[in-house]
Amino acid sequence: MQKFVLSVMHAAICLFCSSVVLAVPIQREPPVLRLYTEHSPPGEYLDASGNVSGATVQLIKLLLSRLDQPATIELLPWARAFERAKLQSNSGVFETVRNAEREADFKWVGPLKMHAIGLYGRSDVFKSGNPILGASNRYLACEYRQSVHVNALKRLGFIEGHNLILTVNHGDCFTLLLKGRVQLVVLNEAGAAERQLQMQQAGHQLVKLRPLSQVRLYLAFSLDIDDATIGRWQQVLEQSYLDGSMRALYQGVYPEQMISRLEQFASEGDTQLQ
């Protein structure tokens, strides 16, 4: 009889312990976020070891660490990176312009950067002032496909197949400019400064011929990611602007004016920039 009582008590204790274990919530790892970007130095590029690196990539990695968010970052041609982020769940792409055409396709965090965009050429081709542009001009312009700046070139009179070349990769146009196969490319001020040395080594200067636009670049997430997660991303991004983390990564790489503007954005809650 005593053994029976003990057996019953033992079973009851085991049942109680099992119920306690089942009541404890299981901490699951968040799903791996798939992030895509393009080759666009100095923000995004493959280093000597084949790893995705660059000032903007390092900022994204910092945010991932602060959010305890596992992720992969893959460098692809821009059109493919953009489409993957648009069509795949739990994904994102950086850095991209936020405009009316794209607004409903993503959920947005940023801005990551602010840039002055201009039309650039070689000093040996453009020796005096701005060129006269139009459908009948003899200059060949170049930009990569799905860039928002393609429309700006078309408004200046450039026509694909006539005097406008559209490439797959971001850096292809500058390579063509170096080789003298095109005369005009679109660059932001940081990219132009980065490429000036290459142009000087070729015996020429990279000259800005005219401004095109002011742009703000964002991290764009797939629509299935919930709003609370987007809010946390925005919060840690702005915190990096306020605590000096962004400045430590961007300083010496991007213009001081842009860094200060991002810090101002975070400190003043400048929603007009979003």
CA atoms within 13 A on the CB side of 33: 26
The whole-angstrom separation of Cα 139 and Cα 209 is 13
Cβ(227)–Cβ(107) under 8 Å? Answer: yes
Tokens representing 164 are: 């406008």
∠ Cα 150 72 57 (to 5°): 55
Per-residue three-class SS string for 114-137:
EEEEEEEEECCCCCCCCCCCCCCC
The whole-angstrom separation of Cα 177 and Cα 170 is 13
Cβ(83)–Cβ(153) under 8 Å? Answer: no
DSSP type of residue 202:
T
Hey, what domains does the chain have and what are their CATH numbers?
33-115+215-273 (3.40.190.10), 116-214 (3.40.190.10)
pLDDT in tens, the chain (274 residues): 444 444 444 544 444 444 444 445 565 778 999 999 999 888 999 999 999 999 999 999 999 999 999 999 999 999 899 999 999 999 999 999 999 999 999 999 999 999 999 999 999 999 876 666 665 578 999 999 888 899 999 999 999 999 999 998 888 999 999 999 999 999 988 889 889 999 999 999 999 999 999 999 999 999 999 999 999 999 999 999 999 999 999 999 999 999 999 999 999 875 444 4
